[in-house]
Structure 1
Amino acid sequence: MELLKEKILKEGRVIGEHILKVDHFLNHQLDVSLLNAIGRAFKERFGGEEVTKILTAEVSGIAIAAITAQYFDVPVVFARKTSSFNLDKETYEGSVYSYTKQQLYKFRVSRHYLPENEKVLIIDDFLANGEAIKGLCEIVASARATLVGAGVVIEKHFQGGGNKLREKGLNVQALVSIASLTKGQITFLQ
């Protein structure tokens, strides 16, 4: 997706050799025109699949998933990272180790919003080690719903998470894959 690559090169910031900051347009401040293009791109990639629900993680994935859902005309469910009084007691859970926060936590989704007849597409902003998607997959499996695939905006290919998920048979589609962030330079896979 050339538009996304251009935006990353122009406005992305590299920190060390593992972190790409795109908070200026993707996950803190949002470029809605870009998000619309991302939603259309996911519809093109997964348009042949029957999708009845989109699942994402709180917080960064919500905006991307919501715009993508418009193109599929389906609801979005987001997995919560924290428990609260207004979350149903009956939930599906998935364990996630956050690379950026260096901590283990659980994703939770109310059983009410993910019945077993759903055909679920996971949407997220980044794919590095694959932990977030793995946790979301655990939720889909617990619900006995059908997982049709996972769409990610940016895959840090050099961290290997996408390949691990693909080896398990998951249809993972990244709009942009990064081969390296060495010496502050962003190198795309293709």
Structure 2
Amino acid sequence: MDKLKERILQEGVIVSDQVLNLDGLLNHQVDPQLTMEMGKEFASRFAEAGVTRVVTVESSGIAVAFATAYELGVPLVFARRKKTLLADPDALCERVPSFTKGIVTDIMLSRHYISEQDKVLFIDDIIANGDAARGLIKIIERSGAELVGLGVVIEKCFQAGARTIREQGISIEPLVRIQSLEGGVITFAD
């Protein structure tokens, strides 16, 4: 997606050789038109997979996951990071570290919204170390649902997350692959 690459170059702020701040594009502010285009792209890539639900982890993946679910005509379910008073006491839960937040959190997905009959498409904003992704994949597996693939807006190729998930035999479809942030320069892999 050339438009997405252009926006990353315009609005991305390199914090370090490992961290790219995309608050103006994905994580704090969202461009609805671009987000819907990303959803259409993911929907076209997984159109033949028989997806019955799109899942993501709150909060940065929700906008793109919503756009994808809308295009596929299926529900969106997101794993919560915070327990509420109304939380399902029997929710599927996994403890995961957050690379960008520097903390460990629990992600929870109610058993009411995912079942053995589901074919699930997991959509996320960025894959770096892949800890949150691996946690949600474990939840999907424990639910008995079939994971048909993982769509990520940005794959950071210089971190191990996507590689380790592909080693599990899971299909990953990135919209953009970033090879490096070294020297304060965004270098795309493609």
- Name the TM-score class by shorter chain: over 0.9
AA in 2 matched with 1:56: T
- Name the SS for the 1:101 alignment partner: coil
1:67 aligns with 2:73: no
Contact 1:95–1:105, Cα closer than 8 Å, also in 2: yes
SS of the residue corresponding to residue 9 of structure 1 reads helix
Can you give the 5+ residue segments of structure 1 that lack an aligned partner in the other structure?
A: none
Unaligned runs of 5+ residues in structure 2 are none
Q: Does the Cα contact within 8 Å between 1:93 and 1:138 map onto a contact in 2?
A: no
State the alpha-carbon separation in 2 of the partners of residues 20 and 47 from structure 1: 30
Partner of 1:114: 114
SS in 2 for 1:159: coil
Structure 1 equivalent of residue 26 of structure 2:
26
Q: Once structures 1 and 2 are overlaid, which stretch shifts more, 89-98 or 135-144?
A: 89-98
What is the Cα deviation at residue 94 of structure 1?
2.1
- After TM superposition, give the deviation of residue 41 of structure 1 in Å: 0.8
Aligned-pair CA distance for 1:45:
1.3
Structure 1 position 95, deviation (Å): 2.5
Match of 1:103 in 2: 103
**Correspondence for 1:124:** 124
What is the TM-score with the length of structure 1 in the denominator?
0.97
**Pair 1:2-2:5 in alignment:** no
SS of 1:148's equivalent?
Answer: strand
Aligned pairs, number = 190
Q: Distance in 2 between matches of 1:99 and 1:78?
A: 19
Partner residue, 2:151:
151
Matches within 5 A, 1:10-21: 10-21=10-21
1:5-58 Cα offsets, whole Å, 9 max, x none, are: 010011111111111111112121110111011001101211121100011001
Identity of paired residues, percent? 45
Letter in 1 for 2:6: E
| 2:121 partner SS | strand
Runs of 4+ aligned residues of structure 1 deviating over 2 Å after TM superposition are none
Name the stretch that deviates more: 179-188 or 96-105.
Answer: 96-105
Residue 43 of structure 2: aligned partner: 43
What is the rounded CA distance, in whole Å, between the counterparts of 1:7 and 1:72 in structure 2?
25
- Corresponding residue of 1:173: 173
Q: Residue 161 of structure 2 aligns with which residue?
A: 161
Amino acid at match of 1:26: L
Which deviates more, 40-49 or 117-126?
A: 40-49
